[in-house]
Amino acid sequence: VRHFTIELEELNQHLMQMGGLVASAIHLAVGSLIEQNRELAEEVIRQEPTINRMEKEIDGIATRLLALRQPVACDLRRLTVALKITTDLERIGDFAFDVAQRSLNLMKQPAVKPMTDIPKIAALVQSMLLKCLNAFVNSDADVAHSVLLADDEVHQFRDGIQAELKDAMQRDPAVASAAIDLLFIARDLERTGDHATNIAEDVIFLAKGIDVRHGAQQPEEA
Amino acid sequence: VRHFTIELEELNQHLMQMGGLVASAIHLAVGSLIEQNRELAEEVIRQEPTINRMEKEIDGIATRLLALRQPVACDLRRLTVALKITTDLERIGDFAFDVAQRSLNLMKQPAVKPMTDIPKIAALVQSMLLKCLNAFVNSDADVAHSVLLADDEVHQFRDGIQAELKDAMQRDPAVASAAIDLLFIARDLERTGDHATNIAEDVIFLAKGIDVRHGAQQPEEA
């Protein structure tokens, strides 16, 4: 019988592998958009089934460990948080997929100029995603907190991009189709930031045993 | 010491209560949009913190039962599925909130005519949501399956609505702002359908012990 600590460590490694794949999918999808590179987008589309499969595998491992090891306290939290984090990562994978598809679509259409702050919001949410994954590996609540602080900036970027695209459409209705794709891409990236925030909140819960979701700060029973 | 069966029954009742509140939020948000009724939208905005609080409460109960009762097999599945379903319900609550805010916004702008198939997609996803909640209460895999079948139709409605709004913007750039709100509302409703589908898949997993997410059909270890 293997030691439970080793099994938890393996679960962590699976989660990090899934996190790495999802972060790479967002990176490739944004790269495809900015460089108008078909191959990067196609790579994201190819990787999507792998991300979905990993979610199921990790959920299966966490559920099995819950049943076999009947953990309490911190170990129990680690398993229930793993179940939450895979959901967030899988959703971010969906956003990367959507950005990649819209990026391919945009290559067939007249470009919207200027390209707005999409590269900036993309860089910001990528940094949030990498930080929350690192915070998870190191159970580092401080790094996780720094992710929460970036959330306002993401929403400001999103509002600015939306206003700019609306103006572009009103000036030139011919760009409407491309502008719609860019609007949804900005939304996908904003949502990616939201899910990175969820993961950061879970890491804080894990590290400190408190639930900071929706602004509450009470200690959690477990 | 209370019996575990009673505790699980209470957890179910909490989940149904949260489900009912979320279904009502979607119903009110759509009503506010279609009837241009400010009060309905404001009611949705008022209810949002309650939905968020319920997610945390139910997660807390499920985590506590995992720790205290150390359940196996079907009872374990019921608890891990509860953790997944609260995430889906909370997200649907966010979509209702977004629809309500955009509905208020739309009341200040020149209307887009025709109003597209938004009432139809709204009716469809509301029916999916009620069905998956009923399937959950009754552990009814057949009803849950019927939810999965509606997913294609939701995506067809979404594509049609998006095409129609793009045309409307191109014909009359003055409606761009309203059309953008309607585009995001259609997306919110599509996503609501996606999360109802997630819940239906969880119910099938619960009822049959198989994981149908992402098209797989293998029996699940637990």
Per-residue pLDDT tens over the stretch B24-69: 999 999 999 999 999 999 999 999 999 999 999 999 999 889 888 8
Q: How confident is the model at residue A63 (pLDDT cuts 50, 70, 90)?
A: confident
Closest Cα of chain A to B38: distance in Å? Answer: 23
Q: How far from chain centre, in Å, is Cα B7?
A: 25
Chain A hits for B69, CB-CB cut-off 8 Å, are none
DSSP one-letter code for A222:
-
What is the distance between the alpha carbons of residues B159 and B187, in angstroms, rounded to a whole number? 10
> How many residues make up chain B in this entry?
222
- pLDDT exceeds cutoff 60 at A215: no
- pLDDT exceeds cutoff 80 at B221: no
Q: State pLDDT tens for residues B14-31.
A: 999 999 999 999 999 999
Angle separating helix axes A176-208 and A4-35, nearest 10 degrees? 160
The predicted model scores a pTM of 0.84
| Mean pLDDT score of chain A | 89
Nearest alpha carbon to residue B205 among B217, B193, B195, B190: B217
pLDDT at residue A71, as a whole number = 84
| Dihedral over alpha carbons B67, B69, B71, B75 (to 10 degrees) | -110
Contact state of A63 with B70 under an 8 Å Cβ cutoff: no
Its ipTM equals 0.76
| Mean pLDDT score of chain B | 89
pLDDT at residue B145, as a whole number = 95
C-beta of residue A120 within 8 angstroms of C-beta of residue A190: no
**Alpha helix (H) residue ranges in chain A:** 4-35, 38-69, 73-106, 118-137, 141-149, 151-171, 176-208
- pLDDT exceeds cutoff 70 at A172: yes
Q: State pLDDT tens for residues B195-218.
A: 999 999 999 988 887 666 665 444
C-beta of residue A168 within 8 angstroms of C-beta of residue A115: no
Q: State pLDDT tens for residues A1-13.
A: 568 888 888 999 9
- Residue B119, preceding peptide bond in cis (omega within 30° of 0): no
Contact state of A213 with B56 under an 8 Å Cβ cutoff: yes
- What chain A residue is nearest to B194 in terms of C-alpha separation? A91
C-beta of residue A61 within 8 angstroms of C-beta of residue A11: yes
Nearest alpha carbon to residue B198 among B187, B207, B186, B211: B211
DSSP one-letter code for B109:
S
Q: State pLDDT tens for residues A30-56.
A: 999 999 999 999 999 999 999 999 999
pLDDT at residue B211, as a whole number = 64
Contact state of A169 with B162 under an 8 Å Cβ cutoff: no
Q: Name the token pair of B191.
A: 């996503």
The more confident residue out of A142 and A68 is A142
Chain A hits for B177, CB-CB cut-off 8 Å, are 166
pLDDT at residue A218, as a whole number = 44
C-beta of residue A147 within 8 angstroms of C-beta of residue A126: no
- What chain A residue is nearest to B218 in terms of C-alpha separation? A56
Picking from B101, B180, B182, B202 by the largest number of A CB atoms within 10 A of its own CB, the best residue to mutate is B180
- What chain B residue is nearest to A195 in terms of C-alpha separation? B91
pLDDT at residue B217, as a whole number = 45
Sign of CA dihedral B117, B123, B128, B129: positive
Which of A64, A70, A84 is nearest residue B70 as measured by Cβ atoms?
A70
Q: How confident is the model at residue B219 (pLDDT cuts 50, 70, 90)?
A: very low
Instruction: Work out the number of other CB atoms within 10 angstroms of the CB of residue B82.
Output: 24
What is the distance between the alpha carbons of residues A63 and B80, in angstroms, rounded to a whole number? 7
Nearest alpha carbon to residue B78 among B12, B171, B147: B12
What is the distance between the alpha carbons of residues B159 and B121, in angstroms, rounded to a whole number? 11
Closest Cα of chain A to B25: distance in Å? Answer: 18
Phi, psi of B138 (to 5 degrees): -95, 10
Which of B87, B162, B176 is nearest residue A166 as measured by Cβ atoms?
B176
Contact state of A49 with B214 under an 8 Å Cβ cutoff: yes
Helix (H, G, I), strand (E, B) or coil at B117: coil
State the DSSP H helix or E strand holding residue B170, giving kind and residue range, or none if neither.
helix B151-171
State the DSSP H helix or E strand holding residue B204, giving kind and residue range, or none if neither.
helix B176-208
C-beta of residue B95 within 8 angstroms of C-beta of residue B28: no
Which of B76, B173, B174 is nearest residue A67 as measured by Cβ atoms?
B76
pLDDT at residue A191, as a whole number = 93
Task: Mean pLDDT check: name the lowest of A151-155, A209-213, B71-75, B81-85.
Answer: A209-213
C-beta of residue B190 within 8 angstroms of C-beta of residue B155: yes
